Structure 1
Amino acid sequence: MKILKIVIAGPYGAGKTTFVKTLSEVLPIETDVAITKAQPTGDDKRTTTVAFDYGRMKVRSDLVVHLFGVPGQERFSFMWKIIARGMHGYLFIVDGSSADRVRDAVNMYMFFRENFPDTPHVVAVNKQDLPNALDVNSVRLLLKVPYYIKVIPLIATSRKSALFALVELLEAIRNYMITQGSNQ
């Protein structure tokens, strides 16, 4: 049986915990704690992840995916490399509800691209169910996502949408493994 480690990254409030909970077939591990003061985003979020989220999903009879959601606040950035160690790929989730929320994601996205330059990834623009959500091309420009990286819409509360995002990432990992195999 093949086991893949997938990291779910993105800034505070992007929808990482929701994504893991939507897909996990086991009771997810969450390390959320109550927020004691308002976050600069002005949303009504009441908790934040302080260590990681964990979920597991059997994709096929011969493939299991372990999902590790990293904390999105920069004060927990020391954990990003620790959790990402040994990952096969990552899904970078951004809150597409406003350009400001996407801009909040730039530093974290650059961190992952610089520290894991050869790791396959997909960018998922969450909250596409909101009326003024940005389209994927606007997010691509704001984040400066390279042309060869997929940027896809996401509604993290929708199992169908979350599965689509996971399949896109698995395809990127598969393509990477094929090209790496042909380069050896």
Structure 2
Amino acid sequence: MEDDTLSRTNPGSDPSLLLVDDDEIFVTRLARAMEKRGFATRTALSVADALKMIHQAPPAYAVVDLRLEDGNGLDVVEALRELRADARIIVLTGYGAIATAVAAVKMGATDYLAKPADANDVTSALLSSGESLPPPPDNPMSADRVRWEHIQRVYEQCDHNVSETARRLHMHRRTLQRILAKRGPR
């Protein structure tokens, strides 16, 4: 099923979209999905690459991961906002903290989405009028799944060290071990 959201909402004459994420598989898939929706996509895997692309040709739309290997995605947001004030910028992150959402919006982001977000979520956020909230996702992740994803991400960042992960999550180590031993919720 192909989504024609772009043509129905008329984003204007410039469908240029920059996708910035250090997860190459994710950004490639998202780029293909967004091209099917009518966007002219370019991808960057780092802050440095994104800044070069922005200075060459500032896009009308951008989706930027908050945490990149070579820096902070907010640097990309700020640079794009300076060069193109009308750009619609979505910040994607695995951390759904209110403080980072506020920082992203203060830096010029249009909206903020927690990962994993699919192409429909991204398209809705990019093309929303800003006057009202976009509709809720058709199939949102359960709270248990969001919790599981967060634990897995912190566990990965702690190089699979259970004790360090438990300390950072403020959990008992044995409780964390039991959670990690189970299969993730759907």
Give the TM-score, by structure 1 length.
0.48
Higher strand share: 1
Q: Which has the larger radius of gyration?
A: 2
Give the TM-score, by structure 2 length.
0.48
